[in-house]
Structure 1
C-alpha cells in the first residue's frame, strides 16, 4: 500500500533524498511512535505558541481562553491523530497523498498553498529569534541589529533542516525539558508577583470572542495537524502514533497556550520578551527562547521543503530548504508578526478542507483495495469540495455561524461531505455509462 501512493518513476532530483520526500519510508527507517509525539510536542512549545498564548490571554481573558483551548484542542487533536494514523499506514508524506486526492496539477497547487503557510510561520519564528538575540546582544554592532540576527537565524535553521528528521528528533529531545521548565518558571513567577486575580472573569476586558479565539487556536497549529504524516510516516505503529499526535496537539498544545496566557494576563504584555523582562527572568530565559525558535523554524522549513519537492521536482531538497528559508526571511522582515491574528484566522478557514479531502480519499482506496497511483492531472470533485469547504468557512466567519459555529470545523465537515457525495456520484455515473461501440 505504501509504495502504491507514489509514481512508478522517481522524479528527477530525488535520488539522493535521505528523508524519502517522494517515496515510501522503508521499514528499516522507522522509529518508535513516542518519538514522533515528542517532536510534535517539542514543536508545540515554540516561541510563536508562547506569543499566541500571551495574545490570547490579553485579548480574551482566562475564562474564554480555557473554553477556547478545550474546543480548539479537541478539533486539532482528532485531526492530527487521524492524519498521523494515515501517514503511518501509507508511509508517505502528506503531499504525495494530496497529489493522489487532487490530481498531479491540482495537488501541486494545494502543496504550494501549504508551503506558503509553512514559510509564513518560518518568517514569524525567524523574527522572534532575531528579537531575542538583539535583547541578549544589546547594542553591540553589528550583532545588535535585527536584520543581522534574522539572516543568521535563517542560516542556522536551514542547516538543521537539511540534516532532516533525525536532527529535529535529537534537537527536540534536548530542548523540550528546557522549554517546559521555562513555561513553568514564567507561570510561577507571574503568580508569585501578581497573585491569582487572573481567574476572575472581570480581571481582563474581553476584546476577542470565544469563536474567534477557537479559530485563532486552530489556525495556530492546523497546518501542523494536516502535515502530521510528514513525521508519522516514520512510525512503526499507526495506532500508537495516532494517539501520540492526539495527545501532542489535543492536550499538550492547549496546555502550553493556557500556561503562556497567564503571565500575559497578569502583566498586560502580549510580547513574550517584554513579559519576561517585566518578570525579571533574565538571560537564562532568553537563551531557552533562542533554542525554542531554532527548533520551531527548522520544523517549518522541513515541512515547507517537503511540500515544494512535489512541485519543483528537478530541484534537490537542499535547494528547496534554502529557497524556503530565503522567502521566509523576506516575509519576516516585511512585518508578518504584526498581522498574526488575521493570518491565523485565515489559516483556520482554508487549511482544514484539504484534510477533509485527502483523508477520505485514502480510506476509500483502502476499502476498495486500490493501488492509488497518481494518474490524472486534475480531480474536479476534490477541487469543488475544497471550494465548498472554504465557502462554508467564509459564511461562518461573516455570519457568525454555519453548522457548528466553529469556522475550522465547518470547513472540514463541509469539504468531507461534499467530496464523498461527489465521489459517489462519479462512481455511479461510471458504473452506468455504456461504452460507445
Structure 2
C-alpha cells in the first residue's frame, strides 16, 4: 500500500499537498547517478575517501563492485570462530545439551537458509537504492527516528569488533604461550593484551582505508582460508578414526531442540545480516547480491558449523586452531595465519559499518563528524575492550540477546521497501526526510520487547526461534500502523527535486 500523497516537511504545513523539496545542498544527484562525481569527475575516478565512503549519499552505479568482490568480501566476512562455536554447541561441547549429526545438519540448513533469505531481501534493497543502513533507515524511521536504532547497531558492531580483537589475541596467545608469566587483568596474560592492542590497531587502520582495503584483503584470503579449513577438518576426523566413529559418537548427543539450535544459528549472525546492507549497496545487480549472500550462508558459515561440530566430537574442541597448535610448529603457524586473514576481513567490516551508523546518527543530531575520526575513536575503544577480555567474559550472552531482541530492526525496512513505500525509494533524498515516522519506531520497540520476552520468560511452542517471531511481529505491526496513520503528514511520500536514485535508473531525474 504505497503512500497516497506527497508531503515535504520543509516547504509547507498544508496537509497532503503535493510539493517538491529543494535539492540537497551538497550533492548534484543527477550528475552523480548519471556518471559524474559532484565536482564533474568521472565516477570511475571517485576516491571513496574524498566522499566519506558515501556515508551520506547513495553509491553511484559506476562506483559499484564486481561479483567476485561481493563473493570474496562475504567469504571473509563470514569466516569467524562463531561458526565453529555454534557448531560445537550443537554437538554438546563441554557436556551441555547437543543433538545427533543429522539433526544438527537440519538445524544448520534451516538457520542458515533463513539468514540467506533475510540477507538477500535486505541486500536487494541496498543494491537498488545504493543506500547504507543509516540512510535507508531514515526513510522508514525518519531522520531523527533512526538515531536510536543506529546507535544500537553501533553498540553491536563495537561489541563484535572487541570480541574479534579478543579472538585474535587468544589465537596468538595459544600459539606463543605465556612466556613472561605476567598477568595484567582478569587473569589475562601480558602476551594476550599486547597481541590485542597490536591487532586492534591493524584492524582500525584497515577500516580507515575503506571498502577498497576490505575488498583487496578478502580477495587474497578467501580461497586460502576455505581450502585450509577443509583439510584440517579431514585431519581431525582421520585422527579420531574416521567419519564413521564421529557419527557413532554424535548419535549419543541429545537434549537440544531444533528451535534452540536455529535460534543459536540466527543469533550468531543476525547483526551481520543487517550490516550486509552497507556492503551490498556496492553490488551491481541481484545476481551479485545472491552470490555474496550464498558465499556466506551456503558456503562459508555452514562449512564452519559442520567443522565445529565434527571437531568438537573428534577432539573435544570446536576451534580447530587449538588442535593445530598441538600438532607441530608448522600447523601452529598455518593456523595463526589462517585466522588472522579471516578475522582481518571480518573486523574491518565491523568497524567500517560502525562508522556508517555513528556518522549519520550524529548528522541527524546536528553534528558532522568525519568518518575517519569515528573509525579511529571507536577502533581504539573496541581494542581496549578486547584487551580487557570482552570476548572471554561477555560474548555468549551477547549473541543470545542479539538473536532475540535486535532482529526486529529490519522489520520496518523490509515492510517499507517491499510493500508500504516502494515508490518513495526512487523519489526521496534520505537526507531530507520527516523527523520521525512512528510506525517504524513503535513496531521495532514492540518487536524487541517480544523477542526478549520469548527468549527469557515466555518460550514459544515447539521452541520456535524468538528472533524470527519478533521479526514477524514487527513486520506485521508496521504494516498495520502504517495503514492506520497513513493520513498523517510525515507518512506521505516524499519527492526531492533533483534527486536521482539508483533504483530509478541513471536517466531518470525528478
TM-score norm. by structure 2 comes to 0.77
Please give the alpha-carbon distance, in whole angstroms, between the structure 1 residues aligned to 2:392 and 2:26: 39
Name the structure 2 match of 1:435: none
Q: Any residues of structure 2 matched to 1:224-235 within 5 Å, and which?
A: 224-235=272-283
Change (3 A) 1:206 1:322: farther
Name the structure 1 match of 2:321: 273
Match of 1:103 among 112, 124, 142: 142
Deviation at 1:304, TM superposition (A): 1.0
Please give the alpha-carbon distance, in whole angstroms, between the structure 1 residues aligned to 2:361 and 2:169: 31
Name the structure 2 match of 1:89: 128
Partners of 1:134 and 1:144 within 8 A in 2 = no
Name the structure 2 match of 1:158: 204
Name the structure 2 match of 1:392: 450
Which ranges of structure 2 fall in alignment gaps of 5 or more residues? 1-19, 28-47, 183-188, 491-510
Name the structure 2 match of 1:365: 421
Select between 283-292 and 55-64 the one with higher mean Cα deviation. Answer: 55-64
Partners of 2:405 and 2:449 within 8 A in 1 = no
1:26-51 deviations in whole A, cap 9, x for unaligned? 22211223421321122112234334
Deviation at 1:54, TM superposition (A): 3.2
Are 2:50 and 1:16 aligned? yes
Deviation at 1:322, TM superposition (A): 1.4
Change (3 A) 1:402 1:328: farther
Partners of 2:173 and 2:195 within 8 A in 1 = yes
Partners of 2:204 and 2:376 within 8 A in 1 = yes
Partners of 2:258 and 2:463 within 8 A in 1 = no
Partners of 1:6 and 1:96 within 8 A in 2 = no
1:49-98 deviations in whole A, cap 9, x for unaligned? 33443344325243442122111111100000011110010001011111
Q: Compare CA radii of gyration and give the structure with the larger one.
A: 2
Select between 161-170 and 269-278 the one with higher mean Cα deviation. Answer: 269-278
Select between 122-131 and 42-51 the one with higher mean Cα deviation. Answer: 42-51
Please give the alpha-carbon distance, in whole angstroms, between the structure 1 residues aligned to 2:49 and 2:238: 56
Are 2:383 and 1:329 aligned? yes
Deviation at 1:242, TM superposition (A): 3.0
Are 2:172 and 1:124 aligned? no
Please give the alpha-carbon distance, in whole angstroms, between the structure 1 residues aligned to 2:84 and 2:321: 10
Partner SS state of residue 301, structure 1? helix
Select between 249-258 and 398-407 the one with higher mean Cα deviation. Answer: 398-407
Are 2:367 and 1:308 aligned? no
Partners of 1:357 and 1:416 within 8 A in 2 = yes
Name the structure 1 match of 2:153: 114
Change (3 A) 1:406 1:223: same
Are 2:438 and 1:380 aligned? yes
Match of 1:184 among 212, 219, 230: 230
Name the structure 1 match of 2:345: 295
Name the structure 2 match of 1:221: 269
Please give the alpha-carbon distance, in whole angstroms, between the structure 1 residues aligned to 2:22 and 2:267: 29
Change (3 A) 1:201 1:391: farther
1:282-316 deviations in whole A, cap 9, x for unaligned? 32122212222222211111111111111234221
Compare the two structures and name the one with the higher helix fraction: 1
Partner SS state of residue 268, structure 2? helix
Change (3 A) 1:339 1:53: farther
Please give the alpha-carbon distance, in whole angstroms, between the structure 1 residues aligned to 2:56 and 2:392: 32
Select between 226-235 and 388-397 the one with higher mean Cα deviation. Answer: 388-397
Are 2:213 and 1:167 aligned? yes
Deviation at 1:264, TM superposition (A): 1.8
Name the structure 1 match of 2:497: none
Please give the alpha-carbon distance, in whole angstroms, between the structure 2 residues aligned to 1:178 and 1:93: 30
1:142-171 deviations in whole A, cap 9, x for unaligned? 996111111111110011111111111111
1:251-295 deviations in whole A, cap 9, x for unaligned? 122232122321122111244432333455332122212222222
Change (3 A) 1:7 1:399: farther
Name the structure 1 match of 2:185: none
Please give the alpha-carbon distance, in whole angstroms, between the structure 2 residues aligned to 1:199 and 1:267: 14
Which ranges of structure 1 fall in alignment gaps of 5 or more residues? 432-437
Please give the alpha-carbon distance, in whole angstroms, between the structure 1 residues aligned to 2:49 and 2:234: 51
Name the structure 1 match of 2:394: 339
Please give the alpha-carbon distance, in whole angstroms, between the structure 1 residues aligned to 2:26 and 2:196: 36
Deviation at 1:370, TM superposition (A): 4.5
Deviation at 1:5, TM superposition (A): 13
Deviation at 1:117, TM superposition (A): 0.9
Match of 1:72 among 73, 89, 111: 111
